[in-house]
A and B are shown apart, each in its own frame.
Chain A
Amino acid sequence: MIKKQPLARTEGLIIQELPDEILVYDQANDKAHCLNETASLVWKHCDGQKDIAEIAKLVGKELNASVKDEFVWLALDQLEKESLLEKETEFSLKTMGISRREVIKRIGLASVIALPIVTSLLNPMSAKAATCATPCTPTTVPGLCGTPLNPTTNCQAICVSGTGLCQPFP
């Protein structure tokens, strides 16, 4: 049964508190997430006991501002998308049948507090190995593959005989 009170996931996460932000590293998928101040406040109140209206009230009190339920929905939508909520809760805007644009409109563009934002990054050290392992196209430099080798990671790579793959070349 889907719960109506959001519950923050904690297992497998490394959580680093920063001034006005939280950095979360998910060891299950090697993704790092930066929660801005307002997303952090919402996430901290996701204890599986409080419903959305209660969270909105508490966040509003901490920020000394009026916070609508939609504001909390916007945060929960991102937290859920990044698997930072327990699975027995479901809070995506999609299930609500409203768009992100509509929610922002309801919150009001003139909102005095920053919208909740979760910025995420797949640890490129895991991506690097994967993206460098591309089929070899040896160039004029013996053994080296492609120029530029990878526009995303800019990793240098070298053609490994036998495997037909490029491997990182630090």
Chain B
Amino acid sequence: MNTVEAKNRFVGISPGLAIEPLLPDQLKDVDWVTGLSFECFGVRIGILATAGMTLEEIRSFLPPYSRELTSGHVEHIFGVKINETESVIFENDDEKLRFPGAHWVADALRGQLKYCVSQFTAERVFIHAGVVALSDCLILIPGAGFSGKTTLTAELVKAGADYYSDDFAVLDKNGLVHPFPKPLSIRQSSTNLSEQTDYEVEHFGGRQAVKPLAVSLVILTQYESGASWLPQSLSPGHGLLEILKHANNSLRHPQFVLQVLQKVVTQARIIQSKRGEAETTALAILQICQ
């Protein structure tokens, strides 16, 4: 297939996506059968897929707050090639991921799309964090993968807090955190990185929050077997440094991110401690809120 054919084919499967001159070389001569383009917080992304992935599946991978586009250019194109032996995900001209079979491709594409939005948006600050709220006390738990933030988030929900996200805190320019709904993804084992099970928040007896709230409490913590909860307050400056570690778009939009985080750290209490079991820590955190 030449470029013109590929373009026409692509426009045919995703009418809203203007690709000229964007379609990268890697994606030109592939037999795409479906695709769409969407926008999420100002980041415009196109997705193409070969046979093996349906349009409905692609739609289910879009990050919250996405809307499908019917016109205009996109800044990023993801290509998903699936065949009997392996799956490959491209981002623009880069091969990002390759897997045996098709088992991993759904989670990987969902993650890549979300990651792309979180890195490039200039409309929101994306902090890798668990977020819950008890009444109007919003608790932000920034943390890297494997810090135990989903486990702690789940325990806070079980203890009565409303659920915002176990993945990203999404803050607007005024520092308000908006719900970023997704099921809680619980790892089944510390040795198997990819095996996660998704649970709806109702599974923990909780409910999805709907109201944007300002941050009241920032908890900087990491699970350590046998550790005691010994909370110490951090200054706004040191708190900001700690939160910045987890702000995905801080590299591309540092000014915007710092302006928003300044609002967060001047209004919220920032607490740091190692923690032991999530259940007892959750109760201690909620007591601070109350």
- Which stretch, B51-59, B189-197, B211-219, touches the partner chain A? B189-197
- A5 part of interface (Cβ distance < 8 Å): no
Which residues of B in the span 124-166 have a Cβ within 8 Å of any Cβ on A? 144-147
A16 touches B96 (CB 8 A): no
Given A121-B245, A169-B97, A16 and B262 touching (CB < 8 A)? Answer: yes
- B14 part of interface (Cβ distance < 8 Å): no
| Interface size class, chain B | 35 or more
B266 touches A18 (CB 8 A): yes
Q: Pick the contact of A170: B111, B244, B247 (CB < 8 A).
A: B111
B258 CB to nearest A CB, Å: 5
B191 touches A160 (CB 8 A): no
- B121 part of interface (Cβ distance < 8 Å): no
User: In the assembled complex, which residues on chain B have CB atoms less than 8 Å from the CB atom of A30?
Assistant: 251, 254
Given A18-B237, A123-B251, A156 and B258 touching (CB < 8 A)? Answer: no
What CA separation (Å) do A148 and B248 show in the bound complex? 21
A143 touches B237 (CB 8 A): no
A interface footprint on B95-108 (CB within 8 Å = 1, 0 otherwise): 11111110010001
A121 touches B100 (CB 8 A): no
| Interface size class, chain A | 35 or more
User: In the assembled complex, which residues on chain B have CB atoms less than 8 Å from the CB atom of A97?
Assistant: none
User: In the assembled complex, which residues on chain A have CB atoms less than 8 Å from the CB atom of B233?
Assistant: none
User: In the assembled complex, which residues on chain B have CB atoms less than 8 Å from the CB atom of A148?
Assistant: 146
A133 CB to nearest B CB, Å: 12
- B255 part of interface (Cβ distance < 8 Å): yes
What CA separation (Å) do A163 and B93 show in the bound complex? 13
- B13 part of interface (Cβ distance < 8 Å): no
B262 touches A18 (CB 8 A): yes
A18 touches B193 (CB 8 A): no
Chain B residue at smallest Cβ distance from A125: B251
A119 touches B238 (CB 8 A): yes
User: In the assembled complex, which residues on chain B have CB atoms less than 8 Å from the CB atom of A32?
Assistant: 240-241, 244
User: In the assembled complex, which residues on chain A have CB atoms less than 8 Å from the CB atom of B99?
Assistant: 142-143
- A111 part of interface (Cβ distance < 8 Å): no
Which residues of B in the span 240-281 have a Cβ within 8 Å of any Cβ on A? 240-241, 244-245, 247-248, 250-251, 254-255, 258-259, 262, 265-266
Given A18-B266, A27-B254, A123-B251, A156 and B145 touching (CB < 8 A)? Answer: yes
User: In the assembled complex, which residues on chain A have CB atoms less than 8 Å from the CB atom of B96?
Assistant: 160, 167
What CA separation (Å) do A160 and B244 show in the bound complex? 28
What CA separation (Å) do A156 and B112 show in the bound complex? 12
Q: Pick the contact of A34: B88, B98, B237, B251 (CB < 8 A).
A: B237
What CA separation (Å) do A37 and B241 show in the bound complex? 16
B146 touches A154 (CB 8 A): yes
B100 touches A14 (CB 8 A): no
What CA separation (Å) do A148 and B144 show in the bound complex? 13
User: In the assembled complex, which residues on chain B have CB atoms less than 8 Å from the CB atom of A149?
Assistant: 193
User: In the assembled complex, which residues on chain B have CB atoms less than 8 Å from the CB atom of A141?
Assistant: 192-194
Residue in A27, A142, A144 with the greatest tally of chain B CB atoms within 10 Å: A142
B83 CB to nearest A CB, Å: 14
B interface footprint on A138-156 (CB within 8 Å = 1, 0 otherwise): 0011111001110001111
A16 touches B244 (CB 8 A): no
B85 CB to nearest A CB, Å: 12
Which residues of A in the span 21-68 have a Cβ within 8 Å of any Cβ on B? 21-23, 25, 27, 30, 32, 34-36
User: In the assembled complex, which residues on chain A have CB atoms less than 8 Å from the CB atom of B245?
Assistant: 121, 124
Q: Pick the contact of A23: B104, B192, B194, B240 (CB < 8 A).
A: B240
Given A18-B266, A20-B235, A125-B248, A119 and B241 touching (CB < 8 A)? Answer: yes
Q: List 27 A-B contacts (CB under 8 A).
A: A14-B254, A14-B258, A16-B258, A16-B262, A18-B236, A18-B237, A18-B240, A21-B235, A21-B236, A25-B255, A30-B251, A34-B235, A34-B237, A36-B235, A119-B241, A121-B241, A126-B251, A141-B193, A142-B100, A143-B97, A143-B104, A144-B193, A148-B146, A154-B147, A160-B97, A161-B95, A170-B111
Query: Could you list 7 further interchain pairs (A-B, Cβ under 8 angstroms) beyond the known A34-B238, A123-B250, A170-B112?
Result: A16-B259, A18-B266, A23-B262, A32-B240, A35-B237, A154-B147, A162-B98
Interface residues of B (CB under 8 A from A): 88, 95-101, 104, 108, 111-112, 114-115, 118-119, 144-147, 191-194, 235-238, 240-241, 244-245, 247-248, 250-251, 254-255, 258-259, 262, 265-266
